[in-house]
Chain A
Amino acid sequence: MRTFGEVLITLGLVVLLFVVYELYVTNLMSAQLQRRASADLESQWEQGRQLHAEPLDGKAFARIYIPSFGADWNFTVQQGVDTATLEIGPGHYKETAMPGEPGNMGVAGHRVGKGAPFNDLDLLNSCDAVVIETADSFYVYRVLPMRDEVAGWAGGRAKDPQCANVAPLQDKQGAYADTFGRVIVTPDRGDAVAPVPYRPEDVLPKASQAALLTLTTCHPQFSDRERMIIHSVLTNQFQKAQGANYEDLLREIGEL
């Protein structure tokens, strides 16, 4: 009886330890990986190396910034969404568009543990900026109108200077009827990162596709029953001038 009790107490401690592991230890491990990826990307850009037209699997090729999460919030974006890659930071769905291209650039990231890059994704509002930096450009995407904002957009949010280049996609083409700023879907909706979200690949020719950036993470927090999807649209694009950095960009787009 006494041994049985001790085994139960031990199992309880192991479960507690697992919570500590999941919430803290994985963050430490991921922070280390992220630091290394960030330094690698930095030196690669500094040397202006363009050895590979296509990003290598599991290697950083871009950087993501979300100004509303703080001026110092940024992560490298790696190619691929497998477990090992997402431990480093957000990952790019390989088959989806590259930064700035028409179509849909899909990026997945953890919401709990593993550095939790997308921990606060639910706090994003329409018109909040999401910036992607590549070797030579900054691409500024802004979160699309939410489902309940679409109807009164022109008379409401549209007047906000942040929303200057944001409009509901619903106005333009029926193809984008389901593309809102935030959508909750089941995990099998791989078409959330399709060129036109939730539509077959060939619904629109590439030339008439909007340039979207889609972020995916787990939902509700601590569960993987569903996925939270954030859709944003390309509003500006800046060639990186000599010496220009992210802070200059923030001033330029009115976020600082």
Chain B
Amino acid sequence: MYGWIWRHLPGPLAVRVALAAVLVLGAVALLMFVVFPWAEPMLPFNDVSVEGQ
């Protein structure tokens, strides 16, 4: 998978390294700002209030 992505990056080595870094940062940002905030409320921790009388 990673090998396939690496082979399909265009340009000389320096450009490929830069592109790979951008891809990694993009994936991390997507997880941090979109996926995790969305998934978090469904996970079984960090509910702090009592409810239901």
A residues near B (Cβ < 8 Å) are 3, 6-7, 10, 14, 17-18, 21-22, 25, 81, 83, 86, 91, 93, 108-114, 118, 185, 187-194, 216-218, 222-224, 227, 229
A106, chain B: closest CB distance, angstroms = 8
Contact B28 A188 (CB under 8 A): no
Interchain Cβ contacts under 8 Å between A and B, 25 examples = A7-B1, A18-B36, A18-B39, A22-B36, A25-B36, A81-B48, A86-B48, A93-B49, A108-B49, A110-B48, A111-B48, A114-B46, A118-B48, A189-B50, A190-B53, A216-B48, A217-B48, A218-B45, A218-B46, A224-B46, A224-B47, A224-B48, A227-B48, A227-B49, A229-B50
Chain B: minimal CB distance from A201 (Å): 8
Q: Which 4 interchain pairs have the tightest Cβ spacing?
A: A224-B47, A108-B49, A81-B49, A190-B53
Tell me, in angstroms, the Cα distance from A25 to B34 when the chains sit together. 13
- Specify the main secondary structure of chain A where it touches its partner: mixed
Binding site for A on B (CB under 8 A): 1-2, 28, 31-32, 36, 39-41, 44-53
Residues of B within 8 A of A218 (CB): 45-48
**Given B28, B31, B32, B52, which contacts A190 in the complex, CB threshold below 8 Å?**
B52
Interface centre among A18, A109, A223 (most CB of B within 10 A): A18
Could you say which of B40, B48, B50, B52 contacts A22, with CB atoms under 8 Å apart? B40
